Amino acid sequence: MTTAEQAPPPPMRLRELVFGAACAAAVRAAARLGVADALEETPMSVADLAAAVKTQPGTLRRLLRALSCQGVFVERPDGSFAHTEMSRLLREDDPHSLRYIALWCTEPWTWNVWPRLDEAVRSGRNVFEDVYEREFFEYLNEEAPESAYVFNRAMTTSSEQSARDVAALLDLGGVASVADIGGGQGQVVAGLLEKHPGMHGTLLDLPGVVANADARLRDGGSLADRVRIVPGDCREDIPVQADVYIIKNILEWDDDSTRRALANIRKAARPGARVVVIENLVDDTPSMKFTTSMDLLLLLNVGGAKHTRQSMVDRLTAAGLVIGEVRPVNAYLHAFECTVPA
């Protein structure tokens, strides 16, 4: 088996790369079949595992062998299979589960747009609307409810995991109010309110998103009396005043949408307010393989882009924000600490 110490020669590595779709499809198949959930902490024979997930033993062995070459599951000398650190991440009950992220990145629509990447590179615009004859999120919500469900679960999972890192990073001592702009279901603002009992918060996102806000923030929830939920589109208006504004992973649209969102923050915020912008970067991160791949997917589906450090600096400066420290949040996110000038 190939190891990091025995990297394949370039011709074999290129062969592996062009079969990348097979690897992604194998991960998706394992997630949809529930293989990781069925496999307990003790190794299982292929026959027992196949019975548990209702597949043919022979074809399941082929799937598991392909995945074990990538470090997802491990085949033992007796032919049974066991978990690895990566395969556990496909379990739905794992606290760091990436099951829905894996499904989201391999949803059916992705297979139809990836082959047209050359068109997107030539034109500089998304090809999703050419293929599906409608805007991405409109298609998702009206034509692909299962994919929309997977997307929402993936975003919730990602937010829950990064919320802990954001809460650990930010010094909000003495801050009376925080607003999470485009904050999804509110995992980040909920985490911050739990860490700072004297603080109040606001969550702003599209009506259909905040309608499913974190249970802690809704009526009867443990944080409901300290939070305001505002349905809205930050590209149109931000009717919120706060000491600290957080904008996480939403400045990835076309440049005009990004410009309008930042202008609305600038208009809403009082002089001296902090604006913390949290984004993936494509040029300054230990997770560049993941981030650059997501950058290309954004080009395909919405015509958006992940940022370089400089492109983010340029946009924040153009919005009239004063940039201070730029710090890593975790292996794939950076925080740009900004203030609103007088």
- Considering only CA atoms, which of 258, 264, 261, 238 is closest in space to residue 179? 238
Where helices occur in the chain by DSSP H, the ranges are 10-18, 20-33, 35-38, 46-53, 57-68, 85-88, 99-104, 108-113, 117-123, 128-132, 136-143, 145-169, 187-195, 207-210, 255-268, 288-302, 309-318
Question: Which residues, given as ranges, of the chain have pLDDT below 50?
Answer: 1-4
Are the C-beta atoms of 101 and 154 separated by less than 8 Å?
A: yes
Three-state DSSP class for residue 19? coil
Are the C-beta atoms of 241 and 268 separated by less than 8 Å?
A: yes
261-290 in b/e form (b: 16+ CB < 10 A) is bbebbbebbeeebbbbbbbbbbeebebeee
Beta-bridge mates of residue 200: 177
The pLDDT value recorded for residue 5 is 53
Are the C-beta atoms of 333 and 312 separated by less than 8 Å?
A: no
Are the C-beta atoms of 297 and 287 separated by less than 8 Å?
A: no
The pLDDT value recorded for residue 159 is 87
Which residue has tokens 């009206």? 142
CB atoms near residue 90 (< 10 Å): 27
The pLDDT value recorded for residue 4 is 43
* Cα 185 to chain centroid, rounded: 13
Token readout for 13 is 């590595």
- Considering only CA atoms, which of 221, 175, 224 is closest in space to residue 203? 224
